[in-house]
Amino acid sequence: MHVRSKDSLAGIFAAPALPNVQISREIDAASATFFTIWIGVVGVIAYMFLPLVVGGLADEYGYSSEQLGFIGAAEAGGMGLANALAIFWMRRANWRSIILLSAFGMILANLGSAYVTDFNFMFVLRLLDGLAGGTLIAISVACQSDNKNADKVFGYFIALEMLASAVGFLILPSVVAGYGIKAIFLALAMLSVTGLACAFVHPRRGLNRNDQMNVEKRVGASLLISIIALTGALLFFMSQGGLWTFIERIAAASQLDPQWVGVALSVSSLCGIAGALGAGKAVALLGRSKVFIFVLVGEMICIALLLGTVGPIQYFAAVSLFIFFWSMGLPLLLTQFNNIDGSGHLVVLLYAMGKLGYTLGPAVMGLLVVGADFTSVLMFGAAVCALGLAVSIGLELYAGRTPGDNAV
């Protein structure tokens, strides 16, 4: 009886044995596409609203800057760790069981966070939320990568993230003002319930990438190519995370009206939706390498607009374009990584690299701030961004000149 019980437990979390044709049919269905995109949004939502969480913890509970840094690191670090660990179980686990467990973990973490004030307990709960959320993101990205229209689905995913961000930043500040930080955690718990519901209708597993019928022309990435690709992505994420961290401070240094800055940041999220949705169409028209070049040039223009004293219209344009090109670059990277590696592992590691870059970027660029002068921050951000995107462009050109390889 004991052995049978263990076998039953293992069966709950083991990926069901299904033919790739059936798996592909499940994953490509419109409903499955929506559900897998949504669990990714549920997984990342707490990180998106981290500035509101950090501000609330400082105002209500008096957390120090050092403690707030640890809270942010727990959330981001938990997500990144979960993304990295996912490569060991992603193709063997029952996705529905893992989603159920992870969503339940997020519910517990956010409900607990709403009713504790002690820093140590809060740290553990935010780490748990990060681990659970990162697991949902990993499943979402893996499932998206198995979709026959993966490039478009990646764009939809980023667009829905931007839409959720825009709505949240419009609504939550007034909610927090009226009900406190507890309201954010309860809202996050309610969103996690929707992830719980998705567990019952989400595809049960991903494609067997070892099946040559479905691998088609894909080739496994060499270790060197994988390292180069991940390094380029890390540099891109460092630049975006660092510049985004100081985007409001740059406005303050130019003495811009805070209300105008808020409007610019809200509108920028809508521009992000356009960038994410436009990425696939731009690739169809121009090819991925040219669109990467377009993103690179656009990023450099945005950063140039932020140099020196910035006027209100100039700032509005810079921030809107910055988010537009940032959001356009993300689905390009997701598709590129999905094409580089036929196993589907590299595209999951991309999100782990994102969290690392978003952590390192602000830390490094913070050392470059001189009083109210952000010139060094902007120049460093431009250089790192250019290097990162140059790697992506180089990989595209290399793949195009390599006979027999699948285009990156």
- The helix, strand and coil proportions of the chain, stated in percent and rounded to the nearest 5, come to 80, 0, 20
**pLDDT attached to residue 13:** 60
What does each C-alpha distance from 1 to 5, 9, 11, 13, 290 come to in angstroms? Answer: 6, 12, 15, 19, 62
Residue by residue, DSSP assigns 65-99 as HHHHHHHHHHHHHHHHHHHHHGGGTTTTB-HHHHH
Nearest to 301 by CA among 394, 397, 386: 386
3-state secondary structure of 335: helix
Pair of tokens at residue 159: 């667009």
CA distance 303 to 326: 12
* Distance of alpha carbon 120 from alpha carbon 215, whole angstroms: 47
Supply the pLDDT for residue 4.
Answer: 45
Tens digit of pLDDT for each residue in 16-70?
666 677 788 888 899 999 999 999 999 998 888 887 788 788 889 988 877 887 8
Tell me, what's the pLDDT at 23?
A: 81
- Coil, strand or helix at 202: coil
SS3 label, residue 14: strand
Q: In angstroms, what CA-CA distances link 313 with 263, 297, 299?
A: 12, 20, 17
Instruction: Tell me which residues of the chain have a pLDDT lower than 70.
Output: 1-19, 209-221, 400-408
* CA atoms within 13 Å, Cβ hemisphere of 206: 28
Distance, first Cα to last Cα, the chain: 51
Q: CA of 212: how far to CAs of 221, 225, 344, in Å? A: 16, 22, 14
pLDDT of residue 151: 85
Name the amino acid, one letter, at 209. R
Give the predicted TM-score (pTM) of the model: 0.82
Give the domains, in start order, of the chain with CATH numbers: 28-198 (1.20.1250.20), 218-401 (1.20.1250.20)
CA distance 15 to 22: 14
